[in-house]
Amino acid sequence: MNIAADYVLDTLGLTCPEPVMLLHNKIRDIPENAILKVVASDPSTLRDIPKFCNFLGHELLEQKEQDGEFKYFIKKKKKD
């Protein structure tokens, strides 16, 4: 799948809990239905980012690992 992201969050080199903390701040600042690409190097994001999306209701469109980098494409939920 080739997803075009509206925004990118680079968390390479950061470790838990920093990637999810930055994700939380970034997703709050983008408009609803926007797609955010998160790039991470911490393997704990494999667990943390899907849980984050599930808990807050954002849609995890895709996650993949390539050359030691973890990439996530998240669609921000609509406001209630």
16 is catalytic: yes
Per-residue H/E/C for 45-70: HHHHHHHHHHHHCCEEEEEEEECCEE
Catalytic residue among 7, 10, 14, 16: 16
Instruction: Say yes or no to pLDDT of 79 above 70.
Output: no
First-to-last alpha carbon distance for the chain, in angstroms, is 29
Domain ranges in the chain are 7-75
Instruction: Say yes or no to pLDDT of 43 above 70.
Output: yes
Please tell me the CATH superfamily of domain 7-75, with its number. TusA-like domain (3.30.110.40)
Residues with Cβ within 8 Å of 70's Cβ and at least 6 positions away in sequence, in order, are 39, 40, 41, 42, 43, 45, 46, 49, 63, 64
pLDDT band at 78; cut points 50, 70, 90 = confident
Q: Which pLDDT value is given to residue 19?
A: 98
Residues with Cβ within 8 Å of 17's Cβ and at least 6 positions away in sequence, in order, are 48
